[in-house]
Structure 1
Amino acid sequence: MESARWRSPEVAFWLLAAGCILLFPNRYLILTEIAWLALFALSLDLILGYAGIVSLGHAAFFGFGGYCAGLLALHGIIKEPVLALLVAGLAAMLLGFVTSFLVMRGSDLTRLMVTLGIALLLRELANKFSGLTGGSDGLQGIEMQPILGLFSFDIFGKVGFIYCLVVLFILFLLARRIVNSPFGLSVRAIRNNPLRASAIGIPVNRRLIAIYTLAAFYAGVAGALSTQTTALASLDGFAFERSADLMLVVIIGGTGYLYGGLIGAVIFKLLQELFSTITPQYWQFWIGAVLVVIVLIGRERLHRWVMFVPRLIASKFSRGGAA
């Protein structure tokens, strides 16, 4: 399939991402945030861009996965980070499967309210059972074990960034394979016209439940990565602002293609850091202004600017190979 083939800008994109390990040795902390935010945005794009499911409460799975990873480490149940990451992702996946039956009912407006309600409900439950979750103070005293028993998290964040980047790349490969499979094509057919998809024999509800459950797994893994790299899990993981920021990331990057969430995460975090440095109290105002500018100038033009460096690197490699 043509869309499943790797192109030179894609290869250059990931080479540039890996090159950040050497290019920005003093920026590992923000690079780590970009990595898990990109995975979080990828999870939302799976349901919004490919399945057409609008969600304002996607932070429910992010926060749930984060708390699962934190509790597993805090109580010594699973000390190995990779195994704890998988367990946290599967727990969020189970939550996504259970709640998917509620989300599938009704129209887009109903789905907006249901997803938002689920996130708010989980936040209040986490706050109520403060003896387990730490309440408004969050989980305290989380100590992470070395990854695979070999790589210890360092204070500079280098190991954490490499860890997040590897997980992001592996799950990106999986998502890429899925969206280009017959299953992914059927999900896109449902997004374009559910009635037509049902008429040709596609099980609409089962496909939507499956992609929603998969997206919950991705969001749970992103939340677990955030907890493991910061040694902190708090109620902010369930907050509406988390879901709103995620929606901005996906809008900035674009929906319906996997790199949209990745590009949006890079742009959003860089703009957030820039505006927070200039005006710490009003950085959200400037983010909104940038969003308006994107609408005016067109996202395609912005993407050409963002992808200029990977394309330049790809051209350099092709010239070198030809020589």
Structure 2
Amino acid sequence: MTHNQTSAIVESPARWIRSRNRWTIFEILFWIATLAPLYFFPAYLNLASQVAITALFALSVDLVLGYAGIITLGHAMFFGLGAFTAGILSSRYGWGEPISGLLLGGMVAALAGYVTSFLIVRVQHLALIMVTLGLGLLTFELANSLRWLTGGTDGLTGISTWKIFGYFRFDLWGYTSYAYSLAVLFLGFLICRLVVSSSFGLALRGIRENVQRMPAIGSDYKWHLRKVYTISAAIAGIAGALLTQTTNTVTLEVLSFQRSADVVVMLILGGTGRLYGAIIGAVIFLVAKDQLAGINPQYWFLWIGILLMAVVLFMPKGILGGLSRLIRRED
């Protein structure tokens, strides 16, 4: 947080909150641009759906990492819980209604997030990383052992998603999947924007900057951390359920450490604590992965590593952070 931003918040918190809720022309143009794949890149609609889903997951992690300072390497736990909830609902119980599947996936993940949040708020720094990593690995092994429910290493089969609102069928070309994923991403973004642009969001920034001072001003920082962790878990669960519904498949990969690590890389690329950084990071990472894997399937991660090092060296606050710093210099 810059000195000017801090001064503006101290001078008038209410005015600062109103300014943060105001939409800019660049934001409006950005969301209009997200419709481009529907008209100009129809061959990449399935990839675009994956980008939208991953961006929603990245937003959930940015809430806790970028705004509350909770470093997590196990957030795939909530993503996977949402994915398996939607998959089990369809394959085991024959219920494929998409909206209720999303909500139930989010609720299950939120419940898990609330329960584990009591453990999360007790530790900090390296211990926090280890706890989140351990929770993620435990959930992965638990899902693997419950083969009768999750399918184990084979995953779930027989998943079928019904028409959205009874009218929009999921087509082979991906038009419905992308439109559906984009709509859910936008709603998730609005929720995240509402959270971070409120007095609650200001409290989260205070916790991130100096957690020791928060009790001195009468703020129950542990309660704030539990709330944002639960909200973040719910959004991650919705993203997982969305993946299951748009692909009609779910495997243990949704609970893997690799998925948690990838989303942290995306946030480093785009910039933490900015919301749009999560979306930009997801776009860059997945598009680069798709193109580089096509060129060299064995060593594509090498080039991702080089890109990551370049961003860290020359843009420590991510691509959006580097661009904003460049704009301020020109002003």
Is 1:290 paired with 2:307?
yes
2:194 & 2:229 partners in 1: Cα distance?
A: 16
Secondary structure in structure 1 of the residue aligned to 2:291: helix
Q: Which stretches in structure 1 are left out of the alignment for 5+ residues?
A: 308-323
Matched letter for residue 121 of structure 1: L
- How far does residue 195 in structure 1 lie from its aligned partner after superposition? 1.7
Measured in 1, the distance between the counterparts of 2:321 and 2:230 equals: 33
Partner of 1:237: 254
2: CA distance between counterparts of 1:7 and 1:43?
23
Using a 3 Å threshold, how does the CA distance of structure 1 residues 304 and 258 change in structure 2: closer, same or farther? closer
Please tell me whether the aligned partners of residues 272 and 318 of structure 2 are also in contact (alpha carbons under 8 angstroms).
no
> Distance in 1 between the 2:62 and 2:317 partners?
17
Superposed counterparts of 1:108-119, under 5 Å:
108-119=125-136
Query: Which amino acid in structure 2 is aligned with residue 214 of structure 1?
Result: I
* Alpha-carbon distance in 2 for matches of 1:224, 1:272: 23
Structure 2's unaligned 5+ residue stretches are: 1-17, 325-331
Aligned partner of 1:27 in structure 2 is 44
Corresponding residue for residue 243 of structure 2: 226
1:83 maps to which of 82, 100, 105: 100
Quick one: distance in 1 between partners of 2:229 and 2:35? 30
TM-fit CA distance, 1:189: 0.8
SS state of the match for residue 143, structure 1?
coil
Specify whether residues 211 and 304 from structure 1 end up closer, same or farther in structure 2 by C-alpha distance, changes over 3 A only.
Answer: closer
Alpha carbons of structure 1 residues 48 and 302: separation in structure 2 relative to 1, 3 Å: closer
For residues 121 and 166 of structure 1, the distance between their equivalents in structure 2, rounded to whole angstroms, comes to: 32
Q: Percent identity?
A: 46
CA RMSD across the alignment = 1.6
Distance 1:299 1:56 in 2: 20
Counterpart residue number, 2:72: 55
Identify the match of residue 273 of structure 1 among 255, 276, 290: 290
Partner of 2:275 in structure 1?
258
Contact 1:86-1:221 within 8 A present in 2 as well: yes
Aligned: 1:146 with 2:163: yes
- The answer as to whether partners of 2:271 and 2:321 remain within 8 angstroms in 1 is no
Superposed, 1:143-222 pairs within 5 Å as 143-222=160-239
For 2:245 and 2:322, how far apart are their aligned partners in 1? 33
In structure 2, the partner of 1:310 is none
Matched residue of 1:95: which SS? helix
Question: Are the counterparts in 2 of residues 65 and 88 from structure 1 also a CA contact under 8 Å?
Answer: yes
Q: Distance in 1 between matches of 2:92 and 2:163?
A: 16
Amino acid at match of 1:104: V
Inter-partner Cα distance in structure 2 for 1:123 and 1:301? 30
- 1:303-314 to 2 correspondences below 5 Å: 303=320
Give, in whole Å, the separation in 1 of the partners of 2:191 and 2:288: 29
Question: Any conservation in 1 of the 2:272–2:317 contact (CA below 8 Å)?
Answer: no
Which residue is equivalent to 2:5? none
- Number of residues of Structure 1 aligned to a counterpart in Structure 2: 307
Instruction: Tell me if structure 1 keeps the 8 A contact 2:269–2:311.
Output: yes
Q: Which has the higher contact order (CA 8 A, sep 6+)?
A: 1
- The normalised TM-score by structure 2 is 0.90
Out of 21, 45, 49, the position equivalent to 1:4 is 21
Instruction: Give the drift of 1:73.
Output: 1.2
Cα distance in structure 2, aligned partners of 1:76 and 1:9 = 45
Give the drift of 1:298: 2.0
Distance 1:202 1:84, change over 3 A: same
Structure 1 pair 306–229 and aligned structure 2 pair: CA distance change class (3 A): farther
- Provide Cα deviations, 1:202-230, integer angstroms capped at 9, x if missing partner: 11000000000000001001111111111
Q: Deviations over 1:13-49 (max 9, x none)?
A: 0000023211211111000000000000000000000
d(CA) in 2 for partners of 1:76, 1:138: 16
Q: Per-residue displacement from partner, 1:156-186 (whole Å, max 9, x unpaired)?
A: 1110110000001011111111111111111
Give the partner amino acid of 1:83.
S
Give the CA deviation at 1:302: 4.2
Query: Which amino acid counterpart does residue 245 of structure 2 have in structure 1?
Result: Q
C-alpha distance in 2 between matches for 1:283 and 1:247: 18
Q: CA deviation at 1:246?
A: 0.8
TM-aligned CA deviation for residue 299 of structure 1: 5.8
Partner of 2:119 in structure 1? 102
Residue 301 of structure 1 deviates from its aligned partner by: 8.7
1:252–1:299 contact (8 Å) kept in structure 2: no
Residues 34, 269 of structure 1: 8 Å contact kept: yes
- Change in Cα spacing, 1:2 to 1:223, as seen in structure 2 (3 Å) is same
8 Å contact from structure 2 (residues 143, 252) kept in 1: yes
Cα distance in 1 between the residues matched to 2:25 and 2:254? 36
